[in-house]
Structure 1
Amino acid sequence: MEAAMSRYMLLHIGFEMPTPEIMAAWNKWFEDVADRAVEHGGFHSGAREISHDGVKDLPMEAGSITGFSVIEADSLDEAVEIASGNPFIDSIRVYEISKQG
């Protein structure tokens, strides 16, 4: 029996207004990783941060988390390799999702 692949969360960091060229590059990446993708989504407004100091609104700026992808891969190294093909703005953070329960 083949072992199940692990899931990885890719957090997309950085913001700039998307041009048709940027959108085309993103759409190509989504197509390229479709067999590994579990889910994709974006954050474009309305973010807040909760801390012990209270709640504050988060502006959409260069260092913002602007989207996420959940992919399946055999290892963190493979997840990083898959993420490296993404047309990211500033950076991508890759985290292994641990199963609870």
Structure 2
Amino acid sequence: MAQFLYVYHGSGKMPTTEVERKAMTDAWTGWFAKLGSAVVDRGNPVGMSKSVLPGGKIENNGGSNPTGGYSIIEARDIDDAASKARDCPILAEPNCNVEIAPIINMMG
């Protein structure tokens, strides 16, 4: 099995009430449970990013498609990894997506 990086893109809006936080946590916990042993690293949400551009210019705008978090998932191939991502809770939010990339092990 290969490993794949899931990069969650979206609004970056965190729930503001306890009820919303619990619903979000339950959705993610349920999805990870459904994936079972394919989950290598549940990952974490991330904060607002900065981009360093050629020439050293720094942009502090989070990018055109802000990263909201990441996970590492095991799958047969990228198509299997994409299939596993179809039920990701972030996809219930408008303008959100899961970017998937194979992790290339250079050390072994």
Q: Shorter chain as normaliser: what TM range?
A: 0.7 to 0.9
Segments of structure 2 that go 5 or more residues without pairing to the other structure are none
The alpha carbon displacement at 1:83 in A equals 0.9
Identify, as 1 or 2, the structure richer in helix: 2
Segments of structure 1 that go 5 or more residues without pairing to the other structure are none
Q: Percent identity?
A: 20
Tell me the TM-score normalised to structure 1 length: 0.80
Q: Contact conserved, 1:9 with 1:71, CA < 8 A, in 2?
A: yes
1:3-57 CA-to-partner distances (Å, cap 9, x unmatched) read: xx11101110112323232221112112222411111121024x21111141222
Matched with 1:11 is: 7
Tell me the TM-score normalised to structure 2 length: 0.75
Query: RMSD between aligned alpha carbons?
Result: 2.0
Q: Contact conserved, 1:16 with 1:62, CA < 8 A, in 2?
A: no
Identify, as 1 or 2, the structure richer in strand: 1
SS in 1 for 2:82: helix
The alpha carbon displacement at 1:62 in A equals 8.8
How many residue pairs get matched?
95
